[in-house]
């Protein structure tokens, strides 16, 4: 199965060189020239199995871009950096990056790093994800495939939206606070970004309503959090 790699760099030469080599190695590369474009691409639910993210860019730099992407996605990230300071490297990894490679780098080493991370992510998913579907009324979710259906139609969700909906559907009627959802979906390091959950819930409701206007879905428990309505 070919994997989709998003390359984020403001230097066109690097975008062209890396993209061409990855294509020869059997990947599907997608290139963008700024952190803002990368965030937009991922937030819109476009498929990316891994991101190659330049550290130094005009506008949003790699650190800021990584931080924003980690608010709604756990896609693996490898930093491309000319910096050699150890503190900088550690900071990048603490922000949620999976690895870094220092410029100038060999393409063979870059591909090797990509494959190691993709194999590791695949093993983690196979251990953690259940084979059985999560079902709630007309809603069905497959943790193995990261896919969801409402009735006969597929719900196109981001990874964060899928995780939130899976948590709620697995325990209908149970109320989850925003803090609980942030911790369960993004991790404790993102506590303080609870209001981002509201945006994901809004998007989930909108997508479900477009498919099934009469579907009784996510209910807001004011002052507490959210639950899936369990009649």
**Could you give the domains of the chain?**
4-128 (3.40.50.2300), 134-228 (1.10.10.10)
Three-class DSSP labels, the chain:
CCCEEEEECCCHHHHHHHHHHHHHCCCEEEEECCHHHHHHHHHCCCCCCEEEEECCCCCCCHHHHHHHHCCCCCCCEEEEECCCCHHHHHHHHHCCCCEEEECCCCHHHHHHHHHHHHHHHHHHHHHHCCCCCEEECCEEEECCCCEEEECCEEECCCHHHHHHHHHHHHCCCCCEEHHHHHHHHCCHHHCCCCHHHHHHHHHHHHHHHHHCCCCCCEEEECCCEEEECCC
CA separation for the pair 202, 198 (Å, rounded): 6
Burial (Cβ within 10 Å: 0-12, 13-18, ≥19) of residue 94: exposed
- 93 pLDDT band (50/70/90 cuts)? low
Is the pLDDT score of 128 beyond 50?
no
- 5 pLDDT band (50/70/90 cuts)? very high
51-65, 118-132, 215-229: least confident range: 118-132
Mean pLDDT, the chain, rounded, equals 85
Residue-level pLDDT at 151:
86
Per-residue pLDDT reduced to its tens digit, 157-199? 888 899 899 999 988 889 999 988 888 887 766 667 677 889 9
pTM greater than 0.75 = no
Residue-level pLDDT at 126:
47
Residue-level pLDDT at 96:
75
């Amino acid at each position: 199965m070919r994997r989709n790699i998003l390359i984020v760099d403001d230097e066109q030469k690097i975008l062209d060189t890396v993209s061409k080599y990855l294509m020869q190695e059997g990947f599907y590369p997608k290139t963008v020239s700024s952190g803002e474009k990368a965030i937009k691409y991922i937030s819109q639910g476009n498929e990316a199995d891994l991101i190659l993210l330049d550290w130094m860019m005009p506008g949003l730099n790699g650190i800021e871009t990584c931080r924003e992407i980690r608010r709604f996605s756990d896609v693996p990230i490898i930093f491309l950096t000319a910096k050699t300071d150890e503190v900088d490297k550690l900071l990048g990894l603490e922000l949620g990056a999976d690895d870094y490679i220092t410029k100038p780098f060999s393409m063979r080493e870059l591909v090797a790093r990509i494959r190691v991370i993709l194999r590791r992510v695949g093993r983690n998913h196979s251990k953690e994800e259940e084979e059985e579907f999560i079902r709630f009324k007309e809603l069905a979710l497959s943790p193995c495939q990261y896919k969801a259906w409402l009735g006969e139609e597929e719900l196109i969700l981001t990874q964060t939206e899928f995780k939130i909906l899976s948590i709620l559907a697995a325990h209908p009627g149970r109320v989850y606070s925003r803090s609980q959802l942030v911790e369960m979906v993004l991790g404790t390091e993102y506590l303080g970004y609870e209001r981002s959950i509201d945006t994901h819930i809004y998007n989930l409701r909108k997508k479900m309503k477009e498919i099934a206007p009469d579907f009784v879905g996510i209910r807001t428990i004011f002052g507490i959090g959210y639950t899936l309505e369990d009649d």
